[in-house]
Chain A
């Protein structure tokens, strides 16, 4: 008599890889700075209006008030990503490690 008719364990060792460790590190940096940027944008623009930064909204052109919010968000994100990346680099690189081996992955 067979054991219970349920699926046996499936070996998955030879299945394709998803994200590489390097991609995961990038994802962590991007995600942490994204969350920080959300909070930063919310607080900054609660007190500073686009009109305070670029004056009255132009009737046409690229730089309207909505673009100020977007650029502000992207700016916060870039600064946050830089800070995250530097912090991660310092944590992951032991003192005395050859500078040519940042070991991102």
Chain B
């Protein structure tokens, strides 16, 4: 009897071969470089900018306040943060449906930092053929020196990136002083090393594998694609049959298409794919293959655009539809959300009030025939100046406050105050809703009300 073959699950991933992207110049390479400078410039410079004597952009975890230039967000403003995340996600959908993987190509931190790490690798180990030769060569003093120099640059840049990351959460100038004297707190040190190592690992070691195997967006972005989405495509009609030819050969002679099969498009690809095999999930739309192919076409005197940004519909000689239902729905939703976000920010009150009833007693009957409820008011001054606030209470019956005084709340502080509210027992009977109002003494527009229940016997 023949034994059944043992059940063996197969691995999901093939063995990985290291990719050596070739350096390329061109329109899109310049655009990517511009994006790298703009985005990394923002990242590394922002925490060093000051405004009103404080760090301009600081997510102060200890004080639970987010400073974004003039804007100060509190935990109570969480809705804005949530809205911002939804807007970011919807923007991603909108631009992906419109123009493909723009995010991956120009703005994703993985792409941007990988560009910098690749630049350091080129600087220390040379261009693509030199790097391949170096990796194949046996260990020598020269190889050790080049590899060590690269690692030193990578690690140093990673640590600086980690330090900057912590500088968004902890005042960066003080952090720098601490770092120089090796007196950063254990957690600041941890995050500095953690983020530095993550940058080194993702951008230096794993690179395109993060996009291919780890990025969720790379997996579901195709759901937002349709036949009118801008993608990078090889023009098969024009390029095939591909093949090498003599330089002086007339275009189209020998039955050949425009592709000379130089494989530059493959060599420059950071994910190592061959765009000529069609649209692939691994393509991050960096357009390096367009630059490579355009360079080759220029050299041999053929028109550019054998590999280009186009749509599936345009390739079929039809007209691309830009304003289609998917785009309109994403666009309208995006506009509504941005409108709501801006309106909310403009109308946002720079003052907060929270009212809590005393949980120990429902109410207290006083000897003078009145009933008393005790409350704790939490007054939040979200402005950057201190204010003195008056508290009033309104509602059915004649309500009185004890104590009746004004409360000074420093800038950006929350101050709890205990208050007693009294009224005649049966005037009216039973529980009622009352309104607390606080108003700044120096600015009557700085005011807010908050409802509360006033409990009293009903018979």
Contact = CB atoms under 8 A, between A and B. Distances in A.
Interface of A: 1-4, 6-10, 12-21, 24-25, 27-28, 31-32, 35, 42, 46-47, 49, 62, 64-67, 69-70, 92-94, 96-98, 101, 103, 105
B17 A96 contact: no
Interface stretch (B30-38, B263-271, B359-367, B435-443): B263-271
Interface residues of B, number: 54
A103 B9 contact: yes
A16 B258 CA distance: 34
B18 A18 contact: yes
Interface in B1-54: 6-20, 22
Given A19-B206, A47-B75, A98-B7, A65 B62 contact: yes
Nearest to B212: A24
Nearest to B6: A98
Contacts of A64: 185
A4 B135 contact: no
Interface of B: 6-20, 22, 61-62, 64, 75, 78, 81, 129, 132, 135-136, 170, 185-188, 190-191, 205-206, 209-210, 213-214, 216, 244-248, 260, 262-264, 266-267, 296, 299-300
Contacts, number: 132
A3 B9 CA distance: 47
Given A1-B246, A49-B75, A24 B7 contact: no
Contact of A16 (B18, B64, B170): B18
A25 B12 CA distance: 9
Nearest to A69: B61
Interface SS of chain A: loop
A12 B20 CA distance: 9
Contact of A66 (B19, B185, B244, B296): B185
Closest 4 CB pairs of A and B: A3-B244, A6-B262, A46-B78, A31-B214
Given A3-B246, A3-B260, A6-B262, A92 B12 contact: yes
B213 A24 contact: yes
